[in-house]
Amino acid sequence: MSRLLLLALPLLAFSLPAHAQRDTIPLNDAWRFALGNGPDNEPWVGKPMPHARTVQVPHTWNVEDANQHHYGWAWYQRSVIVPSGWKDRYVVLEFDAVNHSAIVYLNGQKVGEHLGDGFNKFTVVLNGGLRYGRENLITVAANNAYAGDKLPHGSSFDWPNDGGIIRPVRLIVSGSPHVQRLKATATLQLTDSTGQLRLQAVFDPAADIRMGVRITEENQPTKRVLLEQEMKPRWQGAVASVDLDLGRVKPWHFDRPNLYRVEVTVRNGANAVDEVATNVGFRSVEIRDGKLHLNGEAVKLMGVEWTAGSNPDHGLAEPDSLIRAMGRLMKEVNCIFSRQHFQQGDVFFDFCDRHGILVQQELPLWGPETPANDTAQGIAMRQLEAMIANLGSHPSIFAWGVGNELRARDPRMSRMIKALLDRTHELDPTRYATYVSNSLTESYAGEPGFVPDAAAHGDLLMMNEYGGSWWELPTGAVGLHLDSIHATYPTLPFFISEFGLCGPNFAGGDERRIHDLIYHMALYESKPYIQGAIYFDLTDYRTHYPGTPEPGRFRRREHGVYDMYGKPKPSMEVLRDLSSPVEVHSLRGGAAGQLNVLLFGNIGLPQHNASGYMLYLSDSSGEWHNNRAYPLPDIHPGQRVVVEVDDKYQGRGVVTIVRPTGTVAIRKSFFTAP
């Protein structure tokens, strides 16, 4: 190991506070990396690796020119000086994700493993193996070989197979007893907008403690303190719980994603021994009469999915800044509804929490090659439990998904899907559980030989729809196909979980994408029973699937309204304008020196009350930021609204409507083309 590394690390370690309740130390720099063999055939588990190079995590070798096609073992190693003062403290190594399997060693001894699960956060306890006041060597063996003892199974997935420590790493140092996990369950009472909060802190083991709770407004103009109190929790096993009535709160909504900061201090006698925090949002998501209601309002949803790992410069090892940038692109096309085929981390969901995106987070149980056997079901159950435990406090998550495009009419697979859905309800009764199907057919219940699709076991009917491309079905027959499915499962709210055009598999480029988008949106909006749709995909995305003209890390599906680097295509503005809750109808003459802008509340997709929106009239450039803002009244679906504006451009102009969160909802030009 280099002298530079050994000199730098002690400075980090000894700069820590001596008596803090909890210290979180990032461990993202100065990792040594090398490709290698499996643990049984490598001698460097307990000593510095030869021929290694320094990398920073997040890291994947599959975006490196020399290693694009390496699917197997690789090794990471880092040295840390542990202060003598940590002898009485609890030390945990936390990985946000290692794809897809990891074995962790401390000073040559195996201290943990995380196998077959490349996207869930996990921790490794280091107590018992640490050398206090000395250098400690952390070694991680990572493996991304295609295998049957992981999810996604084998090669049955349509995203990149990027191996490595693909998300950040940290040391967490706390006192005793310590909180392993904090879950916050927020409830909104619609009658009076009051909020209740249940906090559940998992300890190891249970102890005689008190919990100090402080709750403040988080991303709101004020930072009002709702509660500051110390209390004795009630215990069930190792779980300490408190229930709190917070009085009137500001609900979480697409356009007003109000959050509250919850800070919990654990006291053992007179000493503060641990401190944890999370954000919560108070919202009600409810299915009634086949419709989805947010905070009591019947809404229809529209959005887009982003497939992580799409940028060839980073792959699945995206820095936090890139994840947030992709979130901003989602909002630029009016996304209020999304899904994720595989588990994302807290950075992504923190963005969705703060910017008003409802998400269905799914297991990577994907593709018809996935078997329905005890191995697959056992791995899926473990991933499901970890996913819900890790992400269960995020208000943006309203549903959990247990799989995508499996053989859902096969009886054994259907039983496995149902078992996962049932377990989801047990783990989190506050959210919906679904399965996403591509095998819903025109059969009717009661017909001879009818086998219900496993999607019918879920709370929402989720279907991927590719009429005119992957489906060998005339586009004119897609509407009747949708009608027949709704007639077969009439009690379930019907959502289109994917639609879009995939190139180069289907030629025509972005011009065909625009036609496909307009056709399908018009079709869905003509079906009152369709409650929402997700466009697939935000960007062109990287895949390991063969059959595309680009090699290695540039192999991709051309599925997006942006390219792999986030550059917009013409279809981006089409998707944005079609996904606006406000429709710009016309610009008309008005009183002297004035124009009238005629608006309607959208009665298609999406459909919800638009409150706090602004209108701008600008020149042909469309630049609106420095122009006068005209506040819009609340606009309900189908409502006609006329807004009077100054006639600055001789009866012409570009009308831009901006959401309360600052992104453009719709832009329409009333300049005559040259």
Distance, in Å, from the CA atom of 183 to the CA atom of 180, rounded to the nearest integer, reads 10
Give the pLDDT confidence score for residue 41 in this predicted structure. Answer: 85
User: Does the pLDDT value for residue 5 go beyond 60?
Assistant: no
User: Does the pLDDT value for residue 419 go beyond 60?
Assistant: yes
User: Does the pLDDT value for residue 454 go beyond 50?
Assistant: yes
516-540 tens-digit pLDDT:
999 999 999 999 999 999 999 999 9
177-188 tens-digit pLDDT:
999 999 999 999
Give the pLDDT confidence score for residue 450 in this predicted structure. Answer: 66
φ/ψ (deg, to 5) at 182:
-115, 125
Question: Residue 303: pLDDT band by 50, 70, 90 thresholds?
Answer: very high
DSSP-derived secondary structure for 592-633:
TTEEEEEEEE-SSSSB--B-S-EEEEE-TT---TTSPPEEPP
Tell me the average pLDDT across 393-404: 98
Tell me the average pLDDT across 640-664: 97
Contact 529, 486 (CB under 8 A): yes
Fold held by 582-669: Immunoglobulin-like (2.60.40)
Which CATH number is 306-335+465-486+493-579 given? Answer: 3.20.20.80
235-251 tens-digit pLDDT:
999 999 999 999 999 99
User: Does the pLDDT value for residue 14 go beyond 80?
Assistant: no
Contact 295, 283 (CB under 8 A): yes
Give the pLDDT confidence score for residue 2 in this predicted structure. Answer: 33
Give the pLDDT confidence score for residue 3 in this predicted structure. Answer: 30
16-30, 38-52, 229-243, 329-343, range with the lowest pLDDT: 16-30
488-510 tens-digit pLDDT:
999 999 999 999 999 989 999 99
143-184 tens-digit pLDDT:
999 999 999 999 999 999 999 999 999 999 999 899 999 999
Question: Residue 15: pLDDT band by 50, 70, 90 thresholds?
Answer: very low
User: Does the pLDDT value for residue 302 go beyond 60?
Assistant: yes
User: Does the pLDDT value for residue 6 go beyond 50?
Assistant: no
Between helix 346-355 and helix 320-332 the angle, nearest 10°, is 30
Report which of residues 31 and 204 the model is more confident about.
Answer: 31
- Write the CA distances from 651 to 269, 594, 595, 623, 668, integer angstroms: 73, 9, 7, 18, 14
Tell me the average pLDDT across 427-445: 85
Angle (CA) 334 339 345, round 5° = 105
Tell me the average pLDDT across 16-26: 71
Question: Residue 673: pLDDT band by 50, 70, 90 thresholds?
Answer: low
DSSP-derived secondary structure for 520-559:
HHHHHHT-TTEEEEEEE-SB-EE-S-S-SSS-GGG-EEB-
Give the pLDDT confidence score for residue 43 in this predicted structure. Answer: 83
User: Does the pLDDT value for residue 12 go beyond 60?
Assistant: no
CATH label, 3-174, candidates 2.30.110.10, 3.40.50.300, 1.10.230.10, 2.60.120.260: 2.60.120.260
For residue 577, what are its two tokens? Answer: 């304008």
Question: Residue 4: pLDDT band by 50, 70, 90 thresholds?
Answer: very low
Tell me the average pLDDT across 282-293: 96
Pairing label, strands 109-114, 73-82: unpaired
Question: Residue 443: pLDDT band by 50, 70, 90 thresholds?
Answer: low
Give the pLDDT confidence score for residue 21 in this predicted structure. Answer: 85
Domain locations in the chain as residue ranges? 3-174, 179-280, 306-335+465-486+493-579, 356-459, 582-669
- Write the CA distances from 379 to 112, 409, 548, integer angstroms: 17, 21, 31
Question: Residue 20: pLDDT band by 50, 70, 90 thresholds?
Answer: low
Average pLDDT value for the chain: 93
87-143 tens-digit pLDDT:
999 999 999 999 999 999 999 999 999 999 999 999 999 999 999 999 999 999 999
List of residues 6+ apart from 414 with CB closer than 8 A: 408, 452, 453, 454, 457
Give the pLDDT confidence score for residue 207 in this predicted structure. Answer: 81
Fold held by 179-280: Immunoglobulin-like (2.60.40)
Question: Residue 9: pLDDT band by 50, 70, 90 thresholds?
Answer: very low
Same fold, 3-174 and 179-280: no
User: Does the pLDDT value for residue 220 go beyond 60?
Assistant: yes
Burial class (CB in 10 A: 0-12, 13-18, 19+), 289: exposed
Give the pLDDT confidence score for residue 599 in this predicted structure. Answer: 98
562-588 tens-digit pLDDT:
999 999 999 999 999 999 999 999 999
List of residues 6+ apart from 7 with CB closer than 8 A: none
Nearest to 600 by CA among 646, 668, 510: 668
Distance, in Å, from the CA atom of 430 to the CA atom of 183, rounded to the nearest integer, reads 13
Tell me the average pLDDT across 368-385: 96
Give the pLDDT confidence score for residue 547 in this predicted structure. Answer: 67
User: Does the pLDDT value for residue 460 go beyond 80?
Assistant: yes
pTM of the predicted model as reported, rounded to 2 decimal places: 0.95
